[in-house]
Structure 1
Amino acid sequence: MGKAPGLSYKARRRWALVILLIGLPLYIVLAVTLTDWLRGRYPVLPALTELVVFVALGIVWALPFKFIFKGVGQADPDAGPED
């Protein structure tokens, strides 16, 4: 059986760690800056609209990285059976 194309299991784990430790905090700063800007520009922004913005920003960050996070919590599929 041939090897699957794309990133190896170890590479996906490393990239997932980099994304969670560096990328996610940067994204959080960006999201807070965006919402503060929206509040400054539209001071009477309804609470429901603000909630929708926060939920959308909370989901959108993970979509591009879905293929990296998929299966990272599982055992290494390339490793042999443990004896």
Structure 2
Amino acid sequence: MALSWKARRRWALFALVVALPLYIVVAVTVVTLFERPHFLLELLIYVVLGILWAFPLKKLFMGISQPDPDAPRQD
């Protein structure tokens, strides 16, 4: 079932405002559970985790900055 443009826009806003900060807190908490790794390894972990969150949400964010395609045209 495909989401409407409005629903995708709302879910994208939820993902950026609620889910992403929670993801950041979880990622930092998990990294701090381990003994302090080398600086470059820690940086690599944060870079990978910083990119990894976007792949599952890519379809959600596609086209939400465009005008609503289902809205009536104003000519």
Gaps spanning 5+ residues in structure 2: where?
Answer: none
**Matches for 1:1-83 after TM superposition, within 5 Å:** 6-38=2-34, 41=35, 43=36, 45-83=37-75
CA deviation string 1:50-81 (max 9, x = no partner): 11100111011111111111111111111232
CA distance in 2, matches of 1:46, 1:74: 43
CA distance in 2, matches of 1:69, 1:62: 9
CA deviation string 1:16-37 (max 9, x = no partner): 1111111111101101101211
Structure with the larger RCO, 1 or 2 (CA within 8 Å, 6+ apart): 2
Q: Aligned Cα RMSD in Å?
A: 1.3
More displaced 10-residue stretch of structure 1: 13-22 or 73-82? 73-82
Q: Aligned pair count?
A: 75
Q: Which AA in structure 2 matches 1:7?
A: L
